[in-house]
Every structure is written in structure tokens, then in C-alpha cells.
Structure 1
Amino acid sequence: MQRVIPPDFTIQTARCLLRRPIAADLPHVFAATRFAGFYDGMPGEPAATMDELEGALPESWREWDEGITYGMTIADLTTNTLLGRVGIRKTSRVDEWNLGFWTHPEHQGQGYMTEAVSAILTFGFEELGAIKIVASYALWNKSSRRVLEKVGMKFIAYIPHAFKKQEYWVEANKMSMTRREWLLLGSGDR
């Protein structure tokens, strides 16, 4: 049985604090989505207005409370600067979760996301009881691929029609890690 994760739950890494999103995060999220190309590797389109983004926040809290999705803001541990978002969502398969993430363009290439994804894997396997965690990235997104490889995820499938962007299909690769693989990497020794 999955345990209930309280709204004030946090995860601390060497440089980051992962926490449930709050309204004060939204201007930073909105600013990130305004960078050219930022949303190209994600399904859907970014919020067109701050009001639209604000309207989505209660839905993310509801999904947290219901144990469907745990979307977390990644903040700098010392300055509280928003660095990005990471989340883990229950799939239709028993004990399988899907993770997704993005880094604010001003903070990319500094290793924050590798820290955050490693922490979310630990959260998934230890707190949520996941047996398998999967993630996908747009084929051209080499940075996301590197993050997933660094944390030990392995390629499992090529998806030629992962999602549509405007009228074009985006190709993706799917990666995964099982609890057993995670334990073999020594990740369960923390």
C-alpha cells in the first residue's frame, strides 16, 4: 500500500530543495516557458497567461493529495531560487511511475537536474514503492538523455510518434530503471 505523502514533504540534496509548488513559484515557471524552444520537447503548449498557470496549481495539489502525481519545485538550497521542476506520476501499470523534468534555461548545464532526478528516483522506490520508473525524452534532447543516463536509467524503446507538436510528430526514446537495478547501483544504501 502506498503511503500518504503530506503537502509539506520535502527532499533535500547537496544543493537543492525539492518541495510541493506554491503560488510564489509561478512567475519563475512562466518566465522559463517564455524562452524560445523551451517547450519544444514537451507535449502540449505552455500556459499563455499567468492566470492560466495559476488555474493549474490547484489541480497539481489535488493530484498530490490523491497520490497520482508528485510535482516538485526544485529550489536552490541557499538562495531559494527556482531551478526547475521534477515530477513523478503513477502510470496505468501496477507499481510503475513515470518521471518528467525541466530546468529553467538560466540554470541548465550545472548538474542540478541530475541531483533532482536521482532524489526523485529514491523517493519513487523508497516512499512510493515503485517497482519500475520510466521516462521519455524527445530524440533531439541530448541534455535530458544525459541526465537519465547519469542516474542509471537504460534505453528500452524508440517511440516514433511520442506526441504531436503543431502538425509534426516528435520522436522520443523511453528509458527505465527497476527497483532491482536501482539497488544494484547502490542507490538504496543511503
Structure 2
Amino acid sequence: MERVIPYDLTIQTARCLLRRPTADDIPHVFAATRFAGFNDGMQWEPPATIDELEEPLTESWRDWDRGITYGLTIADPATNILRGRIGIRKTSRADVWNLGFWMHPEHQGQGYLTEAAIAMLIFGFEELGATKIEASYALWNKGSRRVLEKIGMKFIAYIPHAFQKQRHWVEANKMSITRREWLLGVKLDV
């Protein structure tokens, strides 16, 4: 059965508000991309201008409508200002979803991503009916690896050619957690 996820979905954690992205987020996304190295572990290149971020926002709304990706802004609950993004996307395999995320450099290392990622596991398993959730990280990205380990994901594969960045292949590791593993002890409180 296809689930309909409302546009006004919000997920509240102890220190984060996860909500659908808006045009008000664009300046904060653009500001994050100005930090050296910010985009190195991501498949998208930093935009040259702030206007280049309008189409990806529109595309994320279309993907939401099609039920293939649910991208959420990780916001400060008091100010509603973007701290980062997290999303879950359908894969080609039934009931298997892929988790992706990034945090604005000014908010990294404070545990917000772990908190948001736990909330997305709950959303994926309980609301989307996922049987498995996967994620990949560039080998050098120790912060992302640590977030995935903290939420109970385990290594499943090395990917020597995950994606290209400046004409060079980026190596990555893939990790995953199944619904059964999550239910048997990795289920964490948000």
C-alpha cells in the first residue's frame, strides 16, 4: 500500500525540528556551501549562485509528491532556522530505503545529525514500512561514519567507485540496518 506523507509533516526530537524544506532555507544552504570542503563528500557540486538552489528545492518537492524521497530540513526548534538536511529515498529494491544527510559546518559535532538520523530510522521503519535502510559515506568522512555507527548501522560493502568528484573517483563504504535488527535492540529513544 502506497503511503501518503503530508506536506506539513514535522518530527520533533529533543533538540531538532525536522520539517519539509522551504525557500527560506535557501540562504542557509548556500551559506553552508561556501565553507571549503563542505561538498567534497557529496555527489552534488556547490552552486555558483544562490539562484541555482531553487531547482533542487522544487525537485525535492516533486520527489515528495511521487513518494520516492522525503527530504527534511533539520531546524532549530526555537528559531526554525536550518541546521542541516536529512532525507530518505526509495531504492530499486522493494522496501529498501537510502538515508542521506549533511549538517551546516557551524553546527557539526554537536550530535544533531545523530538525533535526526534516529528520528529518520523511526520514520522509515514505522511510517514508510522499510525492511532495510542503507547509507553510504566517503571513506575519509569519519563524522558520517560515526553517525551511522551510533544509529546501529553495520558495514556491508566497500564501493571503490561510489561517485566522481573533480574527475576522480571517491571511495565509499555502504552500511545498513534491517527492521529486524532495529527492533531487536538498536531502537533508540529520540
TM-score by length of 1: 0.96
Letter in 1 for 2:4: V
1:126 maps to what in 2? 126
Q: Is 2:87 the counterpart of 1:68? A: no
User: Cα distance, 1:59 vs. partner?
Assistant: 1.1
Offset at 1:188?
Answer: 7.8
5+ residue gaps, structure 1, are none
Contact 1:161 1:172 survives alignment (8 Å)? yes
AA at the equivalent of 1:184: L
| Alignment-derived partner of residue 111 in structure 1 | 111
Q: CA RMSD in A?
A: 1.3
Q: Name the amino acid aligned to 1:79.
A: T
Structure 2 SS opposite 1:94: coil
Q: Kindly state the Cα deviation for residue 37 of structure 1 after the two structures are TM-superposed.
A: 0.2
What secondary structure is seen at the aligned counterpart in 1 of 2:72?
strand
For 2:2 and 2:188, the matched residues in 1 are separated by: 18
1:182 — aligned with what? 182
Q: Is the Cα–Cα contact under 8 Å of residues 97 and 133 in structure 1 kept in the other structure?
A: yes
* Structure 2: 5+ residue stretches without partners: none
Distance 2:3 2:9 in 1: 12
Cα distance, 1:186 vs structure 2: 5.2
Aligned amino acid, residue 77 of structure 2: L
Identify the range of structure 1 (76-85 vs 169-178) with the bigger mean alpha-carbon deviation. 76-85
Whole-angstrom distance in 1 between the partners of 2:110 and 2:28:
18
Alignment match, 1:82 = 82
For 2:6, give the aligned amino acid: P
- Aligned-pair CA distance for 1:189: 8.1
| Amino acid of the structure 2 residue aligned with 1:55 | E
The answer to whether the 8 Å contact 2:25/2:81 transfers is no
2:54 & 2:27 partners in 1: Cα distance? 10
Contact 2:158–2:173 (CA under 8 A) maintained in structure 1: yes
Equivalent positions of 1:13-52 (< 5 A) are 13-52=13-52
Q: 1:52-78 CA distances to partner (integer Å, 9 max, x unpaired)?
A: 101221111110011010000000112
**How far apart are residue 3 of structure 1 and its match?**
1.2
Structure 2 residue 158 is matched with structure 1 residue 140: no
Secondary structure at the aligned position of 1:77 is classed as coil
Structure-2-length-normalised TM-score: 0.96
How many pairs does the alignment contain?
Answer: 190
Instruction: For 1:63 and 1:48, locate their aligned partners in 2 and report how far apart those are by CA, in whole Å.
Output: 24
Question: What is the letter of the counterpart of residue 124 of structure 2?
Answer: G
Partner of 2:96: 96
C-alpha distance in 1 between matches for 2:186 and 2:146: 20
Return the offset for 1:172.
0.3
Structure 1's 186 and 163: CA in aligned 2 closer, same or farther, altered over 3 A?
closer
The one-letter code matched in structure 2 to 1:109 is G
- 1:156 aligns to what? 156
1:2 and 1:129 in contact (8 A); partners too: no
Secondary structure at the aligned position of 2:30 is classed as helix
